[in-house]
Chain A
Amino acid sequence: MILTSVLWQVLQTLIAVLAAPLVTGFVRLIKARLNGRIGPSPLQPYRDLARLLRKELVLAGNASWLFRIAPYFIFSFTWMAASLVPSFTTNLVLIPTADMITLVALLGAARFMIALAGLDIGTSFGGLGASREMLIASLAEPAMLMTVFTLALLAGTTAPARIIDYVLAGGVGLQVSMGLSLVALLLVAIAENGRIPIDNPATHLELTMVHEAMVLEYTGRHLALIEAASMVRLQLYISLIICIFLPWGISQSGKGLEGIVLGLFAYGGKLALLAAGLAVFETVIAKMRVFRYADFLGGALLLSLLATLVLYVSEAV
């Protein structure tokens, strides 16, 4: 039992990092097709990362030690968080390490480091990115925690594995508050991953950047780690939405090997579906002005709060 859970944990950890570039590549491919372009192969992000890893490192003159260690922390915190979100099975050895609040906070720790790295060189773009990133986080993080609160009230726990058990046991049914939480979590996921309409991952105009502005000074292997971290984070958020709202197919503890295989296929299918959905959404919507973010994310926060309060009105708890 312990042995299999260790094995699945290793598999989960590897999937979290190895499949992430493919997800990003897939989103890019679909977007290109929707734009009428042929687009690069979905494997292109792997090649990009390998190229960056091989390149020489160029550091700005006054880069401090913090600037040099930050990429490792950013990548590892994100990777750790991603390996704790059950994607194909809940039988993972490390799953009690972190509940949903800790997952949010782990991503917060990665964000803290990246914002500091943005300020380290002392350029105006770095400061701009860090300032806007913290603005987005200050609204997105509470919204996400309120989503957790709704689930905790429904399922009586903040542990992702238990929430899956609860949803799979049919405890939720069709709830208005689950719908509201889903919308809130989608809005947060879009904002936290720097997707349109909050930020444009493909922008080349400095003033519209948030995430890219903070990492402008990074090169070589540091840049590779940061790019990889944002790919892992995109997959993490998709997995999180899957594990809370579409957990069907995830193998619960006690199921055999065929459960795992089924879980893996189900996960792949759901991942592709949501990634395609993201690409379609990004194609049809326009980028937002910076000060409209507050409306967008404040909306997410209020929706998630409403989701909790609706629970009482519908007398679900």
Chain B
Amino acid sequence: MAAQALLAVAVLPLLTMLAMAAHRHKLAPALVHGGCLLVSLLLGFIGIASVLKGGADLAALPIGLPWLKAHFRIDAFSGLFLVIVNLGALAASLFGVSYVKHLNHAPRVAAAYPMFLAGMNLALMADDAFSFLVSWEFMSVSSWLLVLIDHEEEENRKAAFTYLMMALFGTFCLLGAFGVLAQAGGGYGFDAMRTAKLDGLQSSLVVLLALLGAGSKAGLVPLHAWLPLAHPAAPSHVSALMSGVMTKVALYILCRFLFDFGPTPAWWWGAIIMVAGGVTAVAGILYALIQTDLKRLLAYSTVENVGIALIGLGIALAFKGEGMLPFAALALAASLYHMLNHSVMKGLLFLGAGAVLSATNERNIERLGGLIHRMPVTAACFLAGAAAISALPPLNGFVSEWLILQTLFLGPKIPNWAMKFGSPVVAAMVALSAAMAAAAFVRAFGLVFLGRARSQAALLATEAPIPMRISLIGLAALCALLGILPVSATTILSQIAQSLMGIELQGTIIEGWPWLAPISVTRGSYSGTVLVASVLFLILVTAVIIKGFGTRQVRRGPAWDCGHKEASPAFQYTASSFAQPLRRVFGASMFQAREDVDMPSPSEIRPARLDVHMRDPIWQGLYQPLIDGVTHLAARLNRLQTMTVRRHLLMMFLTLMLMLIVAALRRVFS
């Protein structure tokens, strides 16, 4: 299986070469995306096959470090992530086939895009630290190229630079984590790391570094700052992959560190990760609520969902640390389900935003509106994604958040005070973020697709071309399917989680058909299938009764609006006015949001003004001082370059002296 997968991945660099060789040809970018579609289809099937088969499949290539070789391995767990990645890649590539026609630098996108896919797939298959880090960097650098596609804009260059810095930081942390494990386990292969014996301090160091390294890629607050800058800057189908899929690759390696490598970390790491996830979820969605750039809003919502997945991982770790393995497997399965669901719905939403962008050339939701009339299919699909990500039944987002809440309800079973008090507070955070996600997506969908057009571009939009529509419809159908018939998905996920936890159970930890229930039906149950059937039946009954009553006449007239005459669409509620009450309630302390109203007296003729001031606490409190410090240090070090020859020689002499002293001291003390 692994050999076939490697062969499939090997096609991707060829596609890059094709894109470079034929960069003058107009059809080449679409062709390359078509090729990527086929490859991801193949890799997706390989993923499904290895999930169903179980067990591990190995392959080694004689490349890389001469004494090490490059090891690859596919087991059910990496198979699951192969499915997640290639499902997203499939939809994005299909979308990309017609989307690249709208782009300014289509040949550049076509060259970097296959490499990005190759990097993500290889990172999931890697079985030693060296090949993992190489693939991981491959993924980072090729996505950095894609962020930099529209490099003419100052903002994108800044985003790409921030991204590159954070990616370096993340890799550096992961390198440290692998280093500690490799030293204890005696090898760079993941097999050696699995059996590595660590003491408490080393184990904590590994978890900390893994959390920082993978968390910076996944968007853990406060390491998320690059994410809402970089994800929206890339072309929309790449944004879909970065947000929906690349964050999952980061969570994949975090899962490996937490549950697969070395001994189980102490339970309090679970509590820390759970709380960090809760903070990430709430902070992410608060930011999303006040954004006016559609793609940046979606990127912040990714931060929220990564937080929710992290809550699941944290509580799984806490359960595992206390030896409550079935509960740990349940929490892990819930978290994995949320990752799968999020990759589907975030892919859908970003591709929907891409369809809007290509139809109107506009990302600012203040200048859109009324697109439901001109882009009905895109609108319906985006609505499905918005409802799913707001955790509304019967769609998929609800099912996984329901499972995560259910595991949080089990949290107080852990016999220590931190979890007893922590899990209700984190459950409140999950509930708060779900409710605010609903507000954020009512705002996003309502202002983009409903109401009246706020600009000429929105008025003249046309429906997306057929490949884009197929891609959107497919993902929307998947959102519904994973919510209405979650049974087979949850069964497989709980088996994977159980095998990672090392428990052999006859049944599954999540009861399936027809009532979805964690542990047992008496703890609370849910059935999307029955719910949908019943609601549809009730709608039918309602429609029949209404038909029995009176007229079916419909008359169209002007909007009533309490008798106000509103000629201009500018009278509508805007994105800022929609967010105003929420901003005032939640943002007053967090963003120090402040409104200055300048109301002229009746005799003056100048217009009234309302200014809103906000401050990003994380950027201005954490990153800006860091940037200032680095700039300051660089300026000071700059003086070293302009020294005279004499001084340079002196520096060399001093360095030599210092090293000799160190060597001498080592000899004395050893």
Contacts and interface: CB of A to CB of B under 8 A. Distances in A.
B393 interface: yes
B623 interface: no
Contacts of B584: 291
Given A50-B549, A98-B526, A135-B585, A116 B442 contact: yes
A119 B372 contact: no
A152 B580 contact: no
A57 B558 CA distance: 13
19 contacts: A50-B549, A56-B551, A56-B553, A60-B557, A64-B372, A64-B450, A66-B379, A66-B450, A76-B538, A99-B526, A106-B531, A119-B442, A127-B572, A138-B438, A142-B428, A153-B412, A158-B524, A305-B425, A309-B421
Interface stretch (B165-173, B402-410, B469-477): B402-410
Given A66-B372, A156-B523, A291 B585 contact: yes
Given A97-B527, A159-B523, 4 more contacts: A119-B450, A124-B572, A145-B428, A158-B524
Pick the most buried of A50, A120, A123: most chain B CB atoms within 10 A of its CB: A123
A190 interface: no
B139 interface: no
A65 B417 CA distance: 52
Interface in B397-448: 398, 402, 405-406, 409, 412, 417, 420-421, 424-425, 427-428, 431-432, 434-436, 438-439, 442-443, 445-447
Interface in A277-317: 290-291, 293-294, 301, 305, 308-309, 312, 317
A171 interface: no
Interface string B582-593: 101110000000
Contacts of A139: 435, 585
A79 interface: yes
A73 B387 CA distance: 13
A292 to B, nearest CB: 11
B232 interface: no
Interface of A: 50, 53-66, 72-73, 75-77, 79-80, 94, 96-102, 105-106, 108-109, 111-112, 115-116, 119-128, 130-132, 134-135, 137-142, 145-146, 149, 152-153, 156-159, 162, 206, 216-217, 221, 225, 290-291, 293-294, 301, 305, 308-309, 312, 317
B155 interface: no
Report the 10 A-B pairs with minimum CB-CB distance, sorted nearest first. A127-B573, A122-B451, A158-B524, A119-B446, A54-B550, A99-B524, A134-B439, A142-B431, A60-B559, A122-B452
B573 A128 contact: yes
Interface stretch (B145-153, B323-331, B561-569): B561-569
Contacts of B445: 116
Contacts of A79: 538, 542
Contacts of A65: 372, 376
B406 A216 contact: no
Contact of A97 (B383, B531, B539, B555): B531
Contact of A53 (B546, B561, B586): B546
Interface residues of B, number: 86
A317 B417 CA distance: 12
B551 A60 contact: no
Given A94-B534, A146-B427, A146-B428, A217 B559 contact: yes
B543 to A, nearest CB: 7
Contact of B409 (A55, A119, A149, A294): A149
Contacts of B421: 309, 312
A293 B564 CA distance: 27
B549 A125 contact: no
**Interface secondary structure of B, over-half rule:** helix
Contacts of B376: 65
A137 B431 CA distance: 11
Interface string B507-547: 00000000101000111111100110011001100110010
B566 A124 contact: yes
A221 B546 contact: yes
A113 B525 CA distance: 25
Contacts of B451: 119-122, 127
B16 to A, nearest CB: 43
B369 interface: yes
A224 to B, nearest CB: 8
B556 A61 contact: yes
Contacts of B450: 64, 66, 116, 119-120, 122
A296 to B, nearest CB: 11
Contacts of B387: 109, 112
A99 B435 CA distance: 18
B597 interface: no
Contacts of B428: 142, 145-146, 149, 301, 305
Interface of B: 369-370, 372-373, 376, 379, 383, 387, 390-393, 398, 402, 405-406, 409, 412, 417, 420-421, 424-425, 427-428, 431-432, 434-436, 438-439, 442-443, 445-447, 450-452, 515, 517, 521-527, 530-531, 534-535, 538-539, 542-543, 546, 549-551, 553-562, 564, 566, 569, 571-573, 577-582, 584-586
A196 B432 CA distance: 24
Contacts of B402: 101-102, 105
Contact of A216 (B431, B539, B560): B560
A146 B572 contact: no
Contact of B438 (A55, A120, A127, A134): A134
Contacts of A216: 560-562
A158 B580 CA distance: 35
Contact of B582 (A116, A134, A141): A134
B571 A59 contact: no
A135 B531 contact: no
B439 A138 contact: yes
A41 B517 CA distance: 46
Nearest to B558: A61
B149 to A, nearest CB: 34
Contacts of A145: 405, 427-428, 431
A109 to B, nearest CB: 4
A123 to B, nearest CB: 4
Given A135-B581, A291-B584, A106 B393 contact: yes
Nearest to B454: A122
B427 A124 contact: no
Given A123-B559, A157-B523, A221-B546, A97 B530 contact: yes
Contact of B420 (A73, A106, A111, A312): A312
B530 A94 contact: yes
Nearest to B571: A124
Contacts of A130: 442, 446, 573, 578
B520 to A, nearest CB: 9
Among the interface residues A73, A115, A134, A293, which one has the most CB atoms of the partner chain B within 10 A? A134
Contacts of B417: 312
A317 B579 CA distance: 40
B573 A158 contact: no
A290 to B, nearest CB: 7
B573 A96 contact: no
A162 B369 CA distance: 47
Contact of A66 (B383, B515, B531): B383
A127 B579 CA distance: 10
Name the residue among B369, B373, B522, B585 with the largest chain A CB count within 10 angstroms. B585
A298 B526 CA distance: 29
A141 B431 contact: yes
Contacts of B546: 53, 221, 225
A316 to B, nearest CB: 11
A79 B445 CA distance: 25
Contacts of B406: 101, 158
A73 B394 CA distance: 12
Contact of B392 (A108, A138, A221): A108
Residue of B521, B522, B586 with most partner-chain A CB within 10 A: B522
Nearest to B536: A76
A80 B535 contact: yes
Nearest to B395: A109
A62 B373 contact: yes
